[in-house]
Amino acid sequence: MRKALFVAPTPFFSDRGCHIRIYEEARWLKRLGVDIRILTYSSGRDLPELEIKRAGSWVKYKKLEAGPSWRKPFIDYSLLLLLREQIKEFQPDLIHCHLQEGAFLAIFSAAKSIPIILDYQGSLSLELSQHQRFFRVHPIPKLFKGIESWINSRVDWIFLNCSSLKSELDLQARSKSTIVRDGVDTERFSAQKPDPELRKMLGLKQGSPVIVYLGLLNEYQGVDLLLRSAKIVLAKNPGAQFLIMGYPLVGYPRKAQEMGLGDSVKFSGRVDYFQSEKFLALGDIAVAPKISRTEANGKLLNYLAMGLPVVCFDREVNQELAGECAEYVKYLPEDFEKSAEGLAFGILNLVENPSRRQELSERGRERAVREFGWDKVAERILRCYEEILVRCQK
C-alpha cells in the first residue's frame, strides 16, 4: 500500500474550493488503496472518513476564507514542526502538497529520497495581489514571484487541475507537470427536486426563476459584478430572484440593500459542502462570475453535474471545464459596467429561453459524467504517483 502525506496549509475543512479538492482527492485515493494522512492548521473541522493531524494551536488562527494574514507565518511554522514529526512517524512514500506554502514547508522537511508533489491551483503572487493592494506595490510582486519560481524548481513534480495553468509556469516547471484536472461527485451532484421547506426557509417565491451562486464572496470571485448584473436583470425582469450562497458575507448584504435590490437577492451565508446539492437544486440558472483567467473554477463542475444551465465569463479555464455547455459572456478587465451588462444579458437570455436552458442542462450533465468524475482524477493521480516514484528511484 502506498502512503501519501498531504500537506494542507489552510484551516481544513472549511467548505470552499481548495478544501473540497483536498477532501475529494484524499477520499478517492483511499478507495484506490492509498494510505492518506492530512496535515493542516489547528482550525477547521474534522471529517470522519479521513485521518487528519493538526498543527499546534499556540497561535490562534480563526480565519476560514482564502487570503493573507499576519498570523499565517506563525501557524505555518507550527505546521512545519508537525510535518517533520509525521515524516518520521508515518514514513510516507511521497508528500503531496497543496498550495505553494505546503511545498515550501516540505522542501525544508523531507529527505531527498521522498518525492515532493505540488498540487498547483494558481499563482501565489497573483492570488496575493488579488486579495490586498499591499501585494501589488513594487517590488513585492517580483519578490513573491521569485519565491514561487524557486518552490516550483525544487519540487519533484507539479499537478495542474487545468491546462491554462501551464502559462503561469516557466519552461522548467512545465516540463515536470501533469494535468490531472478538477472533478465532481456526479452521484451526489445530480438533478433533483427542490426542497420546498428549504425554499421557504430562504424566502424564495414559487414560480419565479432563481439564479444561484455558490462560492467565496469577494471581488475576484466576481461577486461585485454579480450584484451589479442583478440590478440590470431585475430592471428588465422584476420577478427574478438571486440566491447568493457562501462566505464571508462582509458587507455584501448591506451593499445589496443600498443598491435597491431588496428581497430579490437572498444571502444564505456559509453552506455545508455535504448539503450543497440541496441548495443548488433550488436554482434554475447558475452563475460563475470568477474573473481569473487561469485559476481553477471548480464550482462550474458542480453546476454542470446538477444539470444547471451556466452563465460565466469567456475565460480560458471556464471554456476548458464547460466546453460548449455554458452561456459565455465577454469579460472586459478595464470596463466593470460592460462586464456586468454582459453577465446580465447572459442571464436574461437563459431566463427568456427555456429550450436553451434545457439544452445546456442536458449537455452539461453529460459532460460532467463523461469527463470529470473524481474516480477518473484519482486514477490519474495514482498513475502519476507510481511514475514519480519510479523516476525518483533511478
The pLDDT tens digits of the residues spanning 337-372 come to 999 999 999 999 999 999 999 999 999 999 999 999
* Amino acid code (one letter) for 101: E
Assign 111 a pLDDT band (cuts: 50, 70, 90).
Answer: confident
C-alpha 123/C-alpha 332 separation (Å) is 21
| pLDDT at residue number 66 | 64
Q: Is pLDDT at 49 greater than 70 in this prediction?
A: yes
Cross-strand bridge partners of residue 117: 96, 157
The proportion of the chain whose per-residue pLDDT surpasses 90, expressed as a percent, equals 77
| pLDDT at residue number 353 | 97
pTM: 0.93
| pLDDT at residue number 393 | 76
* Amino acid code (one letter) for 265: V
* 338 or 62, higher pLDDT: 338
Among 91, 114, 119, 88, which residue's Cα sits nearest to residue 103? 119
C-alpha 27/C-alpha 375 separation (Å) is 10
Q: Is pLDDT at 263 greater than 80 in this prediction?
A: yes
**Location of each CATH 3.40.50.2000 domain in the chain:** 3-183+373-393, 196-371
Among 26, 31, 15, which residue's Cα sits nearest to residue 50? 26
| pLDDT at residue number 212 | 99
Domain 196-371 has CATH 3.40.50.2000: yes
Hey, what's the cell of 298? 471548480
| pLDDT at residue number 140 | 67
Assign 132 a pLDDT band (cuts: 50, 70, 90).
Answer: low
C-alpha 369/C-alpha 26 separation (Å) is 20
Domain 3-183+373-393 has CATH 3.40.50.2000: yes
Hey, what's the cell of 273? 459542502
Look over the chain and give the mean of its residue pLDDT values, rounded to a whole number: 92
- 229-260 burial, b if ≥16 CB within 10 A, otherwise e? bbbbbbeebeebbbbbbbbeeeebbeebeeee
> Which residues 6+ apart lie within 8 Å of 213 measured at CB?
223, 226, 242, 243, 244, 245, 246, 286, 287, 288, 289
- The number of residues in the chain equals 394
Q: Is 196 exposed, middle or buried (0-12, 13-18, 19+ CB in 10 A)?
A: exposed
| pLDDT at residue number 68 | 57
Check residue 202 and report its DSSP letter: T
3-class secondary structure, 337: helix
Q: Which of 55-59, 147-151, 273-277, 297-301 has the least mean pLDDT?
A: 55-59
Note the pLDDT tens digit of each residue in 163-179.
888 888 888 999 999 99
Q: Is pLDDT at 289 greater than 80 in this prediction?
A: yes
* 19 or 130, higher pLDDT: 19
Note the pLDDT tens digit of each residue in 182-211.
999 999 999 999 999 999 999 999 989 999
- The residue-averaged pLDDT of 230-257 equals 95
| pLDDT at residue number 63 | 63
* 142 or 374, higher pLDDT: 374
| pLDDT at residue number 71 | 74
| pLDDT at residue number 119 | 97
- The residue-averaged pLDDT of 152-164 equals 94
Q: Is 27 exposed, middle or buried (0-12, 13-18, 19+ CB in 10 A)?
A: middle
Note the pLDDT tens digit of each residue in 64-95.
666 556 678 889 999 999 999 999 999 999 99
| pLDDT at residue number 133 | 61
The proportion of the chain whose per-residue pLDDT surpasses 70, expressed as a percent, equals 92
